[in-house]
Amino acid sequence: MSFLKLILSFSPWIAFLVIARDGLFRLKVGLAVGFFLSVAMGITRLHRGIILWAGLSFFTYATLAVVVFGNMWTVKYMGVMASVVLAASTWLTIVLNKPFTLDYAREHTDPSLWNSPSFIRTNIVLTSVWGLAFTVNAILAWGKMEHFILSELNYEITSYTLLIGTIAFTNWYPNHVRRRSHALGVG
């Protein structure tokens, strides 16, 4: 998956993350932008699979709860909920043996390889790394909310570093598997 495609597929979440900080108004705007981006990307098929449905579910619930009903419980737990939704959705795709990265990897992989054990295993590894990153980010979001151990800045730095590392791994790992397979003569 290319870096640009990866960023595009998570753009509703990234937009929400960037916009929804430092106040209730910005949180409402971030939720609305995340919701509309999820809908637009679903309609245009730029976004698909479980990440699309996780985004639509999260942004629909959170937008209604916060913007329409002013639910402060949702406001308080927003960061934790966002990461939990992404983590649970990601792990669900592994349990169902349909790792979410398959939807994106198939775009630039020969269809004859889609059912190969190496292709499936590569996507299980990639999706597991994303699941781990989202799970750790849920824990970090809870820690940040409860002011537990680290400063708020350190929670954010750790979270962003983890996501950037996951993006880097997602770009590196498939190429590594391909090079290794070619070197071993597996194809």
pLDDT digits (tens, 9 = 90+) for 127-155: 999 999 999 999 999 998 877 787 888 88
pLDDT band at 6; cut points 50, 70, 90: confident
Q: Which residues contact 131 (CB under 8 A, 6 or more apart)?
A: 87, 90, 91, 94
Report DSSP state, residue 45: T
Does residue 2 register a pLDDT over 70? Answer: no
Report DSSP state, residue 149: S
The rounded mean pLDDT for the chain is 90
Q: What is the mean pLDDT of residues 88-94?
A: 96
Angle at 147 between CA 79 and CA 27, to 5 degrees: 30
Report the alpha-carbon distance of residue 185 to residue 180 in Å, rounded. 8
- Give the pLDDT of residue 184: 76
Q: What is the mean pLDDT of residues 35-45?
A: 90
- Chain centroid to Cα 99, Å, comes to 13
Structural domain harbouring 155: 3-184
Report the alpha-carbon distance of residue 143 to residue 63 in Å, rounded. 24
Q: What is the mean pLDDT of residues 164-168?
A: 93
pLDDT band at 169; cut points 50, 70, 90: very high
As for how many domains the chain has, the answer is: 1
- Give the pLDDT of residue 121: 95
Structure tokens at 104: 């994106």
Q: Of 132, 121, 146, 58, nearest to 90 (Cα)?
A: 132
* CA-to-CA separations, 170 to 4, 67, 86, 150, in angstroms, rounded: 12, 35, 16, 28
Report the alpha-carbon distance of residue 136 to residue 141 in Å, rounded. 9
Residue 103 CB neighbour total at 10 angstroms: 19
For residues 178 and 81, the model is more confident at: 81
- Give the pLDDT of residue 154: 86
